[in-house]
Structure 1
Amino acid sequence: MQPTDFRLFIPSKDFAFSQTFYQALGFSKDPVNDQLCIFSRGECTFFLQNFYNKGLAENLMMQLIVDDINAAFEQIQSMGEVAPKYEPIKQELWGKVIYLWGPAGELWDITQLTG
């Protein structure tokens, strides 16, 4: 088996608001049906599902690697109330990171790797 892609299924507490959140973050939406959408930006894709489980959502963490952490932070700040919870850029051992919480409690680790 040779994998060609890996897609995560992200839960949503409010399916419509989650779609707005991910579009404001710069992802394009491609509806699959009334319960599922594919979001993409460049080569990165994931599914957003109209399904919510608190334990799953609040323990889900994804890392999104970017080439410009400052541009990512500006994008998040421009989201206004759509992105109510995030932390400023932090320096970690592996690079610079922004922690951004999605509408269902999912955590995005947006990282510009060092080196």
Structure 2
Amino acid sequence: MADGGSWRPPRSCEDYWWEWKHCRGLRHAFHHYYTHGEMPACGRWREDYEACRAWERDHATAAQEALCKSERARVMEKQKYAPVWKLRKSPPPDWYLPLNEDKSN
């Protein structure tokens, strides 16, 4: 870890607070339940907010480590899912031809 004087949290504490409030909102909870079949787990955002405040208040090493660990876990979780579309290296060979929009199906 970096020394306490130069290290900054990856996000501002207000960002963690906003994410926690958003996660607990009725609209988000309904959408998450509809999409994933379970209620969202919002506790991590609250813990990150408290760790961020502890860092701002005391420059606690435990708070720094908790924030780093949580952000790493968040990044790893995001990378777990493959992209929906396969990315191309180059355009298709017939990209310049007109589309057949006038044909009826």
Task: Report the TM-score range of the alignment, normalised by the length of the smaller protein.
Answer: under 0.3
Q: Which has the higher helix share?
A: 2
TM-score of the pair, normalised by structure 2: 0.27
Greater relative contact order (Cα 8 A, min sep 6): structure 1 or 2?
A: 1
TM-score of the pair, normalised by structure 1: 0.25
